[in-house]
Structure 1
Amino acid sequence: MDKEDDLETLGEQLYSLIYPKHKENAAKLTGMLLELPVAVLSQMLQDEAMLTAAVEKALRALQLALKSSEVARGDEDDVSEASDSLGDQLFELVDVYRTGHSQKITGMLLEQQKEAVLQLLSDPKLLEEHVNLALKTLKEQNIEETDLSDTSEADETDRLGEKLFSLVEQVDPLHANDITGMLLEMDSSSLHQLLADRAKLDVAVKKAQAALGSES
């Protein structure tokens, strides 16, 4: 019951923010966003830029679903153009989940048949399930491929660092740089867990704060 009440409250708050700019699609857009994790929704309500970006992505996904149903009956050339567009739209929706692997996950999802991809664009719950499955697969691959590519690992660390910093900054803006630096000493799979699990991140930040306190 509590979860349902929370979602209902979040839904009302989201709807009231979305309605002024998107009267016709406010209900659909709110429904799509409500499939995101509660922690992400709470962040959106506090961060106008994040909410605007998510609404725009959901809106484009809605428009694309309509267009693609027409394109599906069109020429081969149109279909290849639509595939590029599908990739762009899918990437934007996948990126909302802040997994740190948006590009890889999008690539994995695009290997499915076009109808399946269209379904993902129009069904946020299904998309979330597929994103989680792809993330699990990537994590398993990560464990197997530990020392294969140093350069891509450095890029990945940079990306993880940016994502971590933006989350840590919300908890402790004063020490965000120091704390992020300390967390980046952890291995890649642990960092992904922190990004995926807010509670674990909070615990790690508190430990880092305690360590910083003892140094000063």
Structure 2
Amino acid sequence: MTGLVQAGGIPRSALEAAGRALAAESARFAGMGWMRGTSGNLSVVLTRDPLRLAVTVSGLDKGELTSGDVVVVDERGRAVPDQPNPDLPPSAEAALHARIAAHAGADAIVHVHCMAAVLAGHWYPDGLPLRDLEMLKGIGRKAHDETVTIPVVPNSQDMDEIAAAWEPRWDGQVPAFIVARHGMYAWGRDLTQARHHTEIVEFLMTFASETRPGGSVGAR
């Protein structure tokens, strides 16, 4: 490993920039209470051919990450050789990040454990239908006269099982899905768009759960 190249040929400057951006976004989501404990993970695509992603490490407080707390993984979510910090483990969900990057063409992926996702997955196990909401425009859909469904898939400790459940449910447009009793994934062309999609989907999930028949708003 030279001073210019590391982790399977990724330039050091590119990896450090990705690490800084991932640490900043992780701190933002931790501050929202969406990455409690050491939960959640984020990633950005570094190269497409071959597919390489920088993924936040496992087991650390996401509000305290540094630029070095990332691992470069391949298309299967496996750490590539010549890591700058070879003892840092990638997120256990890195394989799912890689599948989303490949299948959806995402360049940045956010996974958080916000309560809104857990509740929405509980109340809408067959998918969360949404329509006539202005915020739908924030995920590239119409605000009116269209029903948009956010997929909900069963939880599993096997990331390939989650990916196999999500892929056939995905309409090719909605940049998010819910993992039942777990959390949500959202993505975009960069970390900023992925953050916006995450925030918007969390808003939509909260609205749907609180206005369902018998929900906290509907009950008043």
What TM-score bracket applies, with the shorter chain setting the length? under 0.3
Q: Which has the higher contact order (CA 8 A, sep 6+)?
A: 2
Largest Rg, 1 or 2? 1
